[in-house]
Amino acid sequence: MQLKERTRLIPRKTFFDPIERRLVKISPCGQWIAFHAPINGVHNLWLACIEDPQTARPLTSFTDRHLGLTLEWAFDGHHILFSRDQSGDENFCIMSVSIHGGDPVYLTPKVGVKAYLQEISRKHPNEILVAHNVRTKKHFDLYRVSLCTGASQLIKQNDRFAGFFTDSNFNVRLARRYTDNGEVEYLHRPDGKDWQRYTLIPFEDSLTTRPVEFSEDGQTLFWIDSRGRDKAAALAEDTQTRAIAVLAQDSQADISNLLLAPHTQHPLAAKATFARTNWKGIDPQFESVLSAFKELFAGDIEISSLSENADKLIIAHVQDNQPVEFYCYDRSTGKAPSCLSLNPNYKTYRWSECHLQSSKLEMG
């Protein structure tokens, strides 16, 4: 009797091996890309020249634990910020490493303290704001940290709030706390002394309403806001008059994210997802870029990062029948990086090649 052919099992590593590449971010100058990729199965930080991706090299060599899901370029263009915990305790610290090499530097306490990036600013390229709970586990204080020396200065002690909202000048503009009814209350100090209510987010809107960022001049606060609406919209609030302007909305889904221009912090586009991801242009000069994406890509587009002048974008092409592909969309030349081979001592990865056509757009 002929035996029935055995069903082939999906290899375990298909589910549990680390993904080849994640968190691909472009430098402010547009010359470098940083990303996570594994070394012997452990995610580390890698660097490559945007014009010659085959030169990719690792900047870290951790062997015990994947890096956390934080990867940001400092505006000095020389330091890359990332997070890491110890033995899976989820107390992530913030670290930096230079693109020129050297050992990673701890910018927040190493053990038993949870930290996160609060603000990275073009106005302060050699410093960052971080929040961590070394003083008391219950609350997160704000610290100003030098990327050059690692020196840390306490700028705001926190004894009562869930967190703070800052601007590009590293000023604390709002404080956040939760009411007994599950509402989210934002407070400010218009007289510089006592905290007063700035706005209240009802419980039913608390998952779909949040401030996103202040404009670089500090005069406008951009929101994703569902209060009084069927679906969340992108709003701009004048911080002096409190006047509200609607920037973008979708008839089928909440606005879930805003793409900001690094040099002004003004929104370029808004993202909504119903059955598919849909980007809506806010800056009129950015709409042609979004139209080009619709013509060139069959899947959904996620915009990972932008160079400081917004000429170069790192995008992820997401499809349901093949792995994610990353591209650099250069609005000034229309070119994208070709096949990428990482250091052969570790592992080789492939960047799909495409050639995009675009014209140079000057962002206002």
Structure pTM? 0.87
Average pLDDT, integer, range 55-74: 94
Distance CA 360, CA 330 (A): 9
What is residue 362's predicted lDDT score, i.e. its pLDDT? Answer: 27
Average pLDDT, integer, range 42-63: 91
Distance CA 135, CA 143 (A): 12
Report the share of the chain in percent with pLDDT over 90: 73
What is residue 282's predicted lDDT score, i.e. its pLDDT? Answer: 97
Higher local confidence (pLDDT), 88 or 336: 88
Average pLDDT, integer, range 192-221: 95
Nearest Cα to 189, choosing from 214, 216, 223, 164?
A: 164
What is residue 334's predicted lDDT score, i.e. its pLDDT? Answer: 59
What is residue 347's predicted lDDT score, i.e. its pLDDT? Answer: 33
Average pLDDT, integer, range 195-212: 97
Distance CA 217, CA 263 (A): 11
Counting Cβ atoms within 10 Å, is residue 11 exposed (0-12), middle (13-18) or buried (19+)? exposed
Average pLDDT, integer, range 12-22: 83
Average pLDDT, integer, range 254-261: 97
HSE-CB at 231 with a 13 A cutoff on CA atoms is: 13
pLDDT single digits (tens) 106-146: 999 999 999 999 999 999 999 999 999 999 999 999 999 99
What is residue 4's predicted lDDT score, i.e. its pLDDT? Answer: 61
What is residue 279's predicted lDDT score, i.e. its pLDDT? Answer: 96
Residue type, 86: Q
Phi, psi of 5 (to 5 degrees): -60, 130
Nearest Cα to 29, choosing from 79, 81, 104, 93?
A: 79
Average pLDDT, integer, range 296-322: 92
What is residue 350's predicted lDDT score, i.e. its pLDDT? Answer: 36
pLDDT above 80 (res 349): no
- Token pair listed for 356: 């995009």
What is residue 180's predicted lDDT score, i.e. its pLDDT? Answer: 95
- Token pair listed for 306: 């932008």
